Amino acid sequence: MSDASDVTTHDPAAWRDGVRTGIPTLFGIGAWGLVVGVAMIKSGLTLPQALGMTLMVFAGSAQLASLPLIAAGAPIWVIFTTALVVNLRFVIFSALLAPHFGMLPWYQRLHLGFVSGDISVALFLQRYPDPAPAPGKLSYLKGLLYPNWASWQVGSIAGIFLGNAVPAEWGLGFAGTLAILCVMVPMVVSRPALCGVLVAGGISVLAAGLPYKLGLLAAVVIGMVTAMAVDELGDKFAPARKEERR
């Protein structure tokens, strides 16, 4: 039976396994980072501002959501609220990872939380659905997180420096949408997630005319509520369905 020390002890084999698992996602992450980097420059941020944003924020969805608001001169509370709501999913990720790594010092958990990404967390939870201590668990997570973070930063910084050289007719807005879809579609693997995405998409279209892109904020909130409601209803009716099958 493993204990906490087995989880935290560096395991090179587990680290390499994590890297191998995450490699297929790195190109898409880098491409998305490239699009966000270009978008930061195109939205009017200076080079130091764009570099600071990508290094300190590390949240592509929140960056893309906040950039039009920054360019439009929206109130700071609208910008921060939008970014916060878009990133609320990381609260869920933290809650899912906490049972696995609650024994780590707070500063180490803070560091791991900062470099965490959607796909990396999803891949880790597929490999380790049980929070019980297991040898190499932390090394496997780091093997997923660090290359993911590096791929994003390389792509984003390249986009920042290339931003002024990319012609507008290349359709970067459309490219950005495709990059987000490439990351999002593989994660829509359950009925609650699918319902949340469909509702959020519909709301974003219907509310597209709201000022300061508040339609996006409304779409995210309503989509999250829908996904949670579908998940709750599914858990409630699951026992009844099992009884009917019997």
Residue 222 has pLDDT above 90, yes or no: yes
Q: What letter represents residue 26's amino acid?
A: L
pLDDT, tens only, 181-209: 666 666 676 788 889 989 998 999 999 88
Rg of the Cα atoms in the chain? 20
Q: Which residue shows structure tokens 């019997």?
A: 246
pLDDT, tens only, 30-88: 888 888 888 888 888 888 998 998 888 888 888 888 888 888 888 889 888 888 888 88
